[in-house]
Amino acid sequence: MAEAGQDGPVLVGVIGGSGLYNLEHLTPIKEVNPETPWGFASSPITISALPSGVRVAFVARHGTAHNINPSSVPTRANIAALKSLGVKAIIAFSAVGSLREEIRPGDFVIPSQIIDRTKGIRPSSFFEGTSIVGHAMFGEPFSGQLVSLIEPLVKKELETEAPGVQLHTDKCVVVMEGPQFSTRAESNMYRAWGGDIINMSTLPEAKLAREAELSYALIATATDYDSWRVGEEPVTVAEVIKTLKTNADASRKVAAALIEDVSNALLKGDVITDGEGSMRYSVITHESSQTEEDKKKLSYILPYFS
Ligand SMILES: CSC[C@H]1O[C@H](OP(=O)(O)O)[C@H](O)[C@@H]1O
Ligand SMILES: Nc1ncnc2[nH]cnc12
């Protein structure tokens, strides 16, 4: 069995969101920037090592200078590039607005459901623009096995490193089109729909991770109360930035605490398997209608087209 050491595989990918532009406390080994059939990732990917030697791939979703707006993130390239490095599980971080009183700025949230308010605007499928039609299962948008593994680890790390910060689980994230924040009416509507937190970036990321058969979990950090609170000012970037640095510091600690266990679980091969194989029977297009060019493109992320 392979060792997750200096020369071992890089099984875990971390996507950093607003405020989390690097994993600077880990030892950088190299930077890579593969060109995928969907272009280049948001930023070169940094491969870093934990003290044990376990390695992790990191990409800054909005670029390291935060110069890519949420609607223009090259998500297909980010996911494809991570997959090309051998990554099997992605832990994504995101700064979110809270739609619930009990989810306070500074708190961590691991959601289990998504409401899509980005539909039709962002490229959201690897099959888009090809001769091949595929339908991924998305009823459970996050990897249940990965979520079950990380929840107790995140809780423990927060208890020791960030006392007072609460972890909320089994919540619903609303993913909206940006870059403007929501109106008060929209914010209240999302609450009525059952949304607990809101951001601009978990889609199409989670959909594309599923299509690429990668296990995907989101660790969200609340920065504000969005726009629904009566008598309070609606959210602004200044408000978000207030908690961003504290959240990013806590996120780095949490990431470091997870990577080793997730890597080892993936190495064992029987702990996180819900990503793999899920797309095997998802293609409905008759093989004779699939062009060689499109099959080659899709073989970058899925073995069934090789
Ligand atoms: C800077 S506030 C809005 C911005 O922050 C979140 O980014 P990310 O999910 O990458 O942490 C949100 O989704 C918006 O893109
Ligand atoms: N209120 C909010 N709406 C959308 N994305 C966010 N990211 C952080 N706060 C947010």
Residue 299's domain spans which residues?
Answer: 12-305
- Dist. CA 201 → ligand 1 center (Å): 6
In a domain, 75, yes or no: yes
Number of domains the chain contains: 1
Phi and psi, residue 144, nearest 5°:
-60, -40
Domain assignment present for residue 1? The answer is no
134 within a domain of the structure (yes/no): yes
> Residue whose CA is closest, atom 5 of ligand 2?
199
**Residue 183 and residue 124 in contact, taking contact as beta carbons nearer than 8 Å:** no
The residue whose CA has the least distance to atom 4 of ligand 2 is: 199
Residue 4 lies in a domain: no
In the block, residue with structure tokens 């993913």 = 175
Answer whether residue 275 is part of any domain: yes
Mark whether 261 is an active-site residue: no
* Residue 96 beta carbon below 6 angstroms from any ligand 2 atom: yes
Q: Is 106 part of any domain? A: yes
Q: State mean pLDDT over 26-37.
A: 96
Under the banding of pLDDT at 50, 70 and 90, the label for residue 306 is confident
Q: Is 215 annotated as a binding residue?
A: no
Burial string for 160-176 (b: 16+ CB within 10 Å, else e) reads eebeebebbeebbbbbb
Pairing state between β 55-60 and 12-16 = parallel
- 3-class DSSP state of 10: coil
CB of residue 42 inside a 6 A radius of ligand 1: no
pLDDT per position as a tens digit, 160-212: 999 999 999 999 999 999 999 999 999 999 999 999 999 999 999 999 999 99
Cβ atoms of residues 115 and 175 within 8 Å: yes
Domain of residue 26, CATH code? 3.40.50.1580
* Position 2 in a domain: no
Over 80: is that where the pLDDT of 2 sits?
A: no
pLDDT digits (tens, 9 = 90+) for 132-143: 999 999 999 999
Whether residue 30 lies inside any domain: the answer is: yes
Look at residue 5 in the predicted model and tell me its pLDDT.
Answer: 47
Which atom of ligand 1 has the smallest separation from the CA of 240?
Answer: 2
Report the pLDDT value the prediction gives residue 109, as an integer from 0 to 100.
98
